[in-house]
Structure 1
């Protein structure tokens, strides 16, 4: 007898290795040409920081060997995308977008999947008939820095379900569950219906979880919507939007929360659930 798996059977190594495979297939490093001088500079400074830590804290061979074993485990579990996206990406994002005049963004995270279904506004994200969570109407406008509406802008959205799992990274979920790309109207306006996601812990049964347990940290991320907002002639905005009142806004394990990214949903007057309006302002593409 074959037992059908559900999202609660998700394993860190399975989702981690899938995230690793997706990163390899993404093409993000295909055009990368870094001068040797730049590689030498960065590598030497990272190593110098490691050396300083070893000397300052008198790191022992036992601790060094534990580190080697853990690093091997991160690779075996395919969790380098998770590790880097949770603990490092927020600083990369910060320095990469510091000159922008438009909306603040934040990290992409490891669970993005390109090619989600294209939906005309007003839209309903793909979801199960019995999808858990509070219904949410998310609406707004996409504009340029000078206020010009950006007709036909794409608002790509994905998020975890009410149990904290992402489609395509946990078994038993429909392929595009809670994922879609909404096309704004001629005035840059968009509206989509979904459900509010729940806070969740990053996977704790793999190498990253071992680090969290060994350090006495928590593994929680506040509930959030992931977005990529784009329009011709403008810079892509990658963001996460959070919800007022979430207990992990101030101690997000991924350090990705910014005050500008916190939503303040209100009860809908015409239907069950909540609604929120949030506008996106995109910077012009670099020349």
Structure 2
């Protein structure tokens, strides 16, 4: 990773941006709390923590380190990163267990709504000298019964060839490699972009210190992020990975599923690679 973006990107800046994006969401039901549900979940969470303390004979010194680290996670703005990397994949698994259509996976902390609207034959916003291998990503959106979903919305965003996301690292145009593609009358879309790179989650903040202390790696495999939706159907959030790519088998976020692995081939026009991937949406 080279250049201005690499030199200036920090965990604190990325964490702050992720936190602000999360705060801007409309969290439905936040003021309508079932106290019995809260009691059950929090009591079981605390009981699990108590059990860990007793089984591992946690010392006051270790307890104080934990307390200091939790405070620093908040100060770094890294709670969205921590939760999305280590917990979200299980929440997604529970939420989508009854889906019949395409597989979903985690959203992650780098989604930004209201990206530029593009036609079904689209090129994502990019720099004039955008580095990376050109990629044609194409497919069709249908219902579970095979019916095409005209004008389905395909939101797509991903890291650049250095592993950085626009709006979460300096030196990148606001909507670089982000767009909302509207499928045609038969549910088809063709999106021209570049292949993203694998990247490490920010390691100079609190999450990085946890990774170092535990002896883990910090890498996510290269992937495309997508949100696909159509009226009368359940939206799906997913990530698509690349066959043979680094860390597909040991993603730190545990978000890879076999159904989400792409296998691009040479592009028909000789420019980079291309792949077809269809989305099937469940009825609402």
Scaled to the shorter chain, the TM-score interval is over 0.9
Runs of 4 or more consecutive aligned structure 1 residues displaced over 4 Å after TM superposition: 29-32
1:42 aligned partner:
41
Backbone CA RMSD of aligned residues: 1.2
In 2, distance between residues paired with 1:120 and 1:30? 34
Q: Which runs of 5+ in 2 are unaligned?
A: none
* Residue 192 of structure 1: aligned partner: 191
SS at match of 1:6: helix
The 1:129/1:256 distance shift into structure 2, 3 A limit, reads same
**TM-score scaled to structure 1, two decimals?**
0.96
Please tell me whether the aligned partners of residues 125 and 177 of structure 1 are also in contact (alpha carbons under 8 angstroms): yes
Q: Give the equivalent residue in structure 2 for 1:149.
A: 148
- The alpha carbon displacement at 1:5 in A equals 5.3
Report the equivalent of 2:202.
203
Query: What is the CA–CA distance in structure 2 between the aligned matches of 1:104 and 1:121, rounded to whole Å?
Result: 22
Q: In 2, are the aligned partners of 1:198 and 1:223 still within 8 Å (CA)?
A: yes
Judge conservation of contact 1:7–1:172 (CA < 8 Å) in 2.
Answer: no
Aligned residue in 1 for 2:258:
259
CA distance in 1, matches of 2:27, 2:253: 21
**Any idea what the Cα deviations from partners look like across 1:157-210, whole Å, max 9, x if unmatched?**
000000000000001100000000110000000000000000000000000000
What's 1:33 paired with? 32
Q: Do the aligned partners of 1:159 and 1:197 also contact (CA within 8 Å) in 2?
A: yes
Displacement of 1:105: 0.2
Q: What is the aligned partner in structure 2 of residue 15 from structure 1?
A: 14
Query: How far off is 1:21 after superposition?
Result: 1.2
Distance 1:221 1:45, change over 3 A: same
Structure 2 distance, partners of 1:268, 1:252, is 27
* Residue 28 (structure 1) shift: 2.0
Tell me the equivalent position of 1:56: 55
| Mapped partners of 1:7, 1:192: distance in 2 | 27
Asked whether the equivalents of residues 267 and 274 of structure 1 are also in contact (C-alpha less than 8 Å), the reply is: yes
Aligned partners of 1:126 and 1:176 also within 8 Å: yes
Aligned pair in 2 of structure 1 residues 150, 32: CA closer, same or farther (>3 Å)? farther
Aligned residues: 282
Q: Is the contact made by 1:221 and 1:252 (CA closer than 8 Å) also made in structure 2?
A: yes
Normalising by structure 2, we get a TM-score of: 0.97
Contact 2:19 2:80 in 1 (8 A): yes
Query: What is the distance in 2 between the residues matched to 1:44 and 1:235?
Result: 32
